Amino acid sequence: MLLNLKKDAIFIADSHYNHQRIDFENIMNDILSNKIETSQLFLMGDMFDFLCDEVSYFKKINQNVISKINQISQNIEVIYLEGNHDFNLKEIFPDIVLIKRENQPFIIEYNDEYIALSHGDIFTAFSYNVFTSIMRNKYFLKFLNMIDISSFISKYFENKLVKKEICHDIDNFQLFAKNRIKLYQQYDAISYIIEGHFHQGKRYLNYINIPSLACDNFYTKVKIENFKIGFENIKYN
């Protein structure tokens, strides 16, 4: 049985949470306090600048937000699509629905309409697939963690990630979206395609790219009108 989209669902993508980008933690606080109301939360990947179960430093510095997500998951359905910055998360988030890269797109439904969800880093070149498989390998990550004396490796990458420019516009979004739609044609009867990863916050036909919280300070809320699905980008603060 497919997971059903709920009428008050919220989508958040690419918050790249770190000590300088804190809106993701603030939104989690607002959900916990019911300032933002929802019964279904989709986290579309790259919610953290970096997080995986095998690297101790990043679990430690992100513990506050990890705890808030786990609190939310006790009362709200949380679906987390792992991204290229956050993966191997099952031990960190035991009570949420975790969708690994190899299981994306993740198909959900609403009133017999099918919606394909992905972080976005799928349908990629062989070289990228090899790279990302290595980066997700738990034994490789455990080895890095073992030699990460005084967290010098983690702190080096943390500094690089904080300084990295992640916001950009795709010059021809319409052409980009057409190409993404073609890649999903192998899946039957898809009404909508929803991705993060590309930090665009735009829509073309049935392709929806969720805005990056880090770049645009928006999240997306489902809006049902006359039994039809709509998606509204909402400015946070």
Spatial separation of the C-alpha atoms in residues 103 and 6, rounded to whole Å: 21
What DSSP string runs through 126-157? HHHHHHHHHHH-HHHHHHHHHH-GGGHHHHHH
pLDDT in tens, 213-230: 999 999 999 988 777 888
pLDDT in tens, 171-192: 999 999 999 999 999 998 899 9
Can you tell me which residue has the tokens 């993701």? 24
Can you tell me which residue has the tokens 């019964």? 39
Radius of gyration of the chain measured on its C-alpha atoms: 17
Q: What pLDDT is recorded for position 34?
A: 95
Class assignment of domain 3-235? alpha beta
- Domain extents for the chain? 3-235
Please name which of 206, 39, 234 lies closest in space to residue 116, comparing C-alpha atoms. Answer: 206
pLDDT in tens, 110-167: 988 999 999 999 999 999 999 999 999 999 999 999 999 999 999 999 999 999 999 9
Can you tell me which residue has the tokens 């829509």? 203
Q: What pLDDT is recorded for position 229?
A: 86
Q: What pLDDT is recorded for position 130?
A: 94
Output the CA–CA distances (angstroms, integers) from residue 33 to 26, 65, 162, 228, in the order listed: 11, 15, 29, 29
Backbone angles phi, psi at 208, to 5 degrees: -125, 120
**Residues 33, 66: contact at Cβ < 8 Å?**
no
Confidence class of residue 24 from pLDDT cuts 50, 70 and 90? very high
- The DSSP code for 101 is G
Q: Model-level pTM?
A: 0.95
pLDDT in tens, 37-82: 999 999 999 999 999 999 999 999 999 999 999 999 999 999 999 9
